Amino acid sequence: MADDLIDSDDEADDPGVVWEAPRLHPVFSVAPGGVTFGKLRKRLVRQVQEAIRVYGMCTPRQDGSRPRWLVCLSGGKDSYTLLALLLDLQWQGALPVDLLACNLDQGQPGFPKHVLPDYLKTLGVDFRIITEDTYSIVTEKLPATSTYCSLCSRLRRGILYRVAREEGCDAIVLGHHRDDSVETFMLNLLHGGRLAAMPPKLVNDVGDVFVLRPLIQCAEADIARFAAAMQFPIIPCNLCGSQDGLQRMAIKSMLNDWERKNPGKRQVMARALGNVRLSHLTDPSVFDFAGLQLGNPGERDDGV
């Protein structure tokens, strides 16, 4: 898959070398040439493909037909990147899934309604735009000093589940990445009193729709570089993005500080989320401490 991409770590980024890869999806029509972008794209594609494989995201239907995914677009860098990488994998024949792009117009003042439809039409991508005024609901129920994210997310998720059912989709696909997952873990640890992050794959409460996060192994910095190079028509979120003092922003600032002092900390934390020892935690509902008996080999006590 994508063997036409440049894959040499020893090759310098020569501006005189034009990167040309045949069989690229039209989403890459404005992609820059050069080795640097070629390697960035290939790394992100591989990380998405690996996440899909490891977490069994491409679940076959019982009748043998192709799964159908509702790819949720907010107009931000993450969701644009998600769509581009899924289209890339699909174009390469490595993702046997039908994709339906979806944007929820939440009634935010000044929201540029034309941007996403115009962009998706140029790509020839199937899409659906839903208009639901969740903006008024959120701003009416919560004071301006409150954090809108939680209520906004619940309202949005319920609408997307409904649309997935209407469109015969097996899953809604979200653009959360590695850094989102680490930040959520820290939020839950420090403010929620639990060990939990963003799962790469889950089933909704009703049990009829998957929630998938194929970017779960991708670094936000890579996504930002990719989105800038691809010249996506970014739509800023003016509902919650303008609020100051959010707990998530404080966590992000803290992690940024750690990363500056000790590069690679985010990746180490992300790796830890997939390397859990239940016997070395303290939750009796997930590990039978009371049932432990002498006489059988135990686990090494290497706690610090």
Question: Domain for residue 11, yes or no?
Answer: no
Q: What are the Cα distances from residue 31, in Å, to 6, 18, 43, 74, 139?
A: 14, 11, 15, 21, 39
Specify the number of domains making up the chain: 1
Question: Domain for residue 90, yes or no?
Answer: yes
245-266 CB burial, b ≥16 within 10 A, e <16: eeebeebbeebeeeeeeeeebb
Q: How far is CA 62 from the centre of its chain?
A: 27
Average pLDDT estimate for 73-84: 96
Using the predicted structure, report yes or no on whether residue 215 has a pLDDT greater than 50. yes
Question: Domain for residue 39, yes or no?
Answer: yes
Question: Domain for residue 52, yes or no?
Answer: yes
Q: What are the Cα distances from residue 238, in Å, to 52, 77, 109?
A: 32, 15, 8
The one-letter code for the residue type at 158 is G
Using the predicted structure, report yes or no on whether residue 218 has a pLDDT greater than 60. yes
Indicate the pLDDT class of residue 147, thresholds 50, 70 and 90.
Answer: low
Average pLDDT estimate for 66-72: 96
Q: What is the rounded distance in angstroms from the CA atom of residue 195 to the CA atom of residue 281?
A: 10
Q: What is the pLDDT of residue 187?
A: 92
**More confident site: 66 or 109:** 66
The CATH code of the domain that includes 35 is 3.40.50.620
Tens-place pLDDT, residues 220-260:
999 999 999 999 999 986 555 444 447 888 999 999 999 99
Question: Domain for residue 76, yes or no?
Answer: yes
**More confident site: 183 or 157:** 183
Average pLDDT estimate for 10-16: 46
Which residue's entry shows tokens 């954090």?
147
Tell me the CB-side half-sphere exposure of residue 228, using CA atoms within 13 A: 8
Q: What is the pLDDT of residue 10?
A: 37
Q: What is the pLDDT of residue 20?
A: 47
The phi-psi region of residue 243 (left if phi > 0; otherwise alpha if psi is between -120 and 50; otherwise beta) is beta
Question: Domain for residue 230, yes or no?
Answer: yes
Mean pLDDT of all residues belonging to the chain: 85
Question: Domain for residue 257, yes or no?
Answer: no
Using the predicted structure, report yes or no on whether residue 91 has a pLDDT greater than 90. yes
Q: What is the pLDDT of residue 4?
A: 41
Average pLDDT estimate for 142-152: 56
Residue 115: which domain range? 26-177+219-237
Listed in order, strand segments (DSSP E) in 149-212 are 171-173, 201-203, 210-212
Q: What is the pLDDT of residue 196?
A: 95
Question: Domain for residue 15, yes or no?
Answer: no
Q: What is the pLDDT of residue 152?
A: 64
Using the predicted structure, report yes or no on whether residue 195 has a pLDDT greater than 50. yes
